[in-house]
């Protein structure tokens, strides 16, 4: 697939998985958006995301044996709070470079990304129940697999069959992976099949975003509205337990979203 969207050129196609495989720079992404708890200074939304995830997972209301994260990218930030309440975590991403970046951190390679400032912030939010060092050990011990995942497939992990999860987590993935609203609906339906009855879906995403920039390259995003997400989840048999939105307008240089959302929805059947 041709890369849509180099800097200074018009967007011609939606940047799906193949564009990430060929053109995405995971270290440029991490340096731009996760080098400190504030995140990117033009967006300033990472602290909100981390606090919402801590709120969801910190009290232990959502727990179980297995958590699957869909579309981890090169990032571990979504799991810092969640790792306390699950016996095993499966991380996943389409792009080889992103999975390799995660593996470098899990192995503590000398050139791995420094997540310590973000981990320390989460520990402070959680009342310092663990030290950052203890939290890091817990997360690394809990992540059991880092798998290739293509959300466009009926079985995103095909040909592997992954057992059903107690929780499915996805942060800033589906709006970057789905070229249109129909695909988004179909993908959520496929992901639902990875959940046990009564299990929960936790998502963090952005509203009304059409692009974001990484290392001078422009990547597409599907513009989503809260009402559409709520309706899609309801139609798929989810009961929405939380839907939080922080209105926040980016500067149209790094991205163009108008808000960040956090949703918890229970799989009713």
Percent of residues in the chain assigned helix, strand, coil, to nearest 5 = 35, 25, 40
Give pLDDT, residue 3: 35
Tens-place pLDDT, residues 85-98: 999 999 999 999 99
Q: Looking at the DSSP assignment, which residues form a beta bridge with residue 202?
A: 169, 264
Please check whether residue 203 is in contact with residue 230, taking contact to mean a CB–CB distance below 8 angstroms: no
Reported as type and span, the H/E element at residue 158 is none
pLDDT at 169 over 80: yes
pLDDT at 76 over 80: yes
Between residues 269 and 66, the one the model is more confident about: 66
User: What is the bridge-based pairing of β-strands 143-148 and 64-69?
Assistant: unpaired
- pLDDT, mean of residues 177-182: 96
- pLDDT, mean of residues 30-56: 91
Distance CA 137, CA 75 (A): 16
Least confident stretch, 4-8, 13-17, 219-223, 224-228: 4-8
Binding residues for S-adenosyl-L-methionine: 29, 34, 71-72, 93, 98, 150-151
Binding residues: 29, 34, 71-72, 93, 98, 150-151
For domain 17-267, the CATH superfamily is Vaccinia Virus protein VP39 (3.40.50.150)
Query: Whole-prediction pTM value?
Result: 0.93
Mean pLDDT of the chain, nearest integer: 92
Q: Buried b vs exposed e over 59-97: b needs ≥16 C-beta within 10 Å?
A: eeebbbebbbbbbbbbbbbbbbbbbbbbebbbbbbbbeb
- Delimit the domains of the chain by residue range: 17-267
């Amino acid at each position: 697939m041709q890369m849509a969207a180099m800097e200074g050129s018009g967007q011609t196609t939606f940047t799906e998985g193949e564009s990430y495989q060929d053109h995405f720079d995971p270290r440029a992404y991490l340096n731009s958006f996760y080098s400190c708890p504030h995140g990117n200074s033009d967006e300033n939304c990472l602290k909100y995301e981390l606090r919402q995830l801590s709120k969801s997972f910190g009290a232990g209301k959502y727990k179980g044996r297995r958590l699957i994260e869909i579309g981890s990218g090169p990032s571990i930030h979504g799991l810092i709070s969640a790792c306390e309440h699950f016996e095993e975590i499966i991380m996943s991403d389409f792009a080889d470079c992103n999975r390799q970046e995660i593996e470098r951190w899990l192995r503590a390679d000398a050139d791995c990304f420094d997540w310590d400032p973000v981990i320390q912030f989460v520990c402070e939010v959680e009342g310092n129940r663990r030290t950052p060092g203890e939290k890091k050990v817990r997360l690394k011990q809990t992540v059991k697999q880092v798998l290739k995942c293509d959300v466009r497939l009926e079985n995103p992990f095909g040909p592997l069959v992954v057992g059903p999860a107690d929780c499915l987590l996805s942060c800033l993935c589906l709006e970057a992976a789905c070229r249109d609203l129909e695909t988004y609906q179909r993908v959520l339906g496929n992901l639902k099949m990875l959940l046990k009855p009564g299990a929960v879906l936790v998502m963090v995403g952005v509203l009304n975003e059409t692009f974001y920039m990484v290392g001078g390259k422009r990547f597409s995003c599907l513009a989503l509205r809260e009402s559409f997400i709520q309706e899609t989840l309801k139609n798929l048999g989810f009961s929405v337990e939380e839907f939080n939105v922080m209105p926040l307008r980016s500067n149209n240089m790094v991205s163009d979203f108008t808000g960040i959302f956090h949703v918890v929805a229970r799989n009713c059947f």
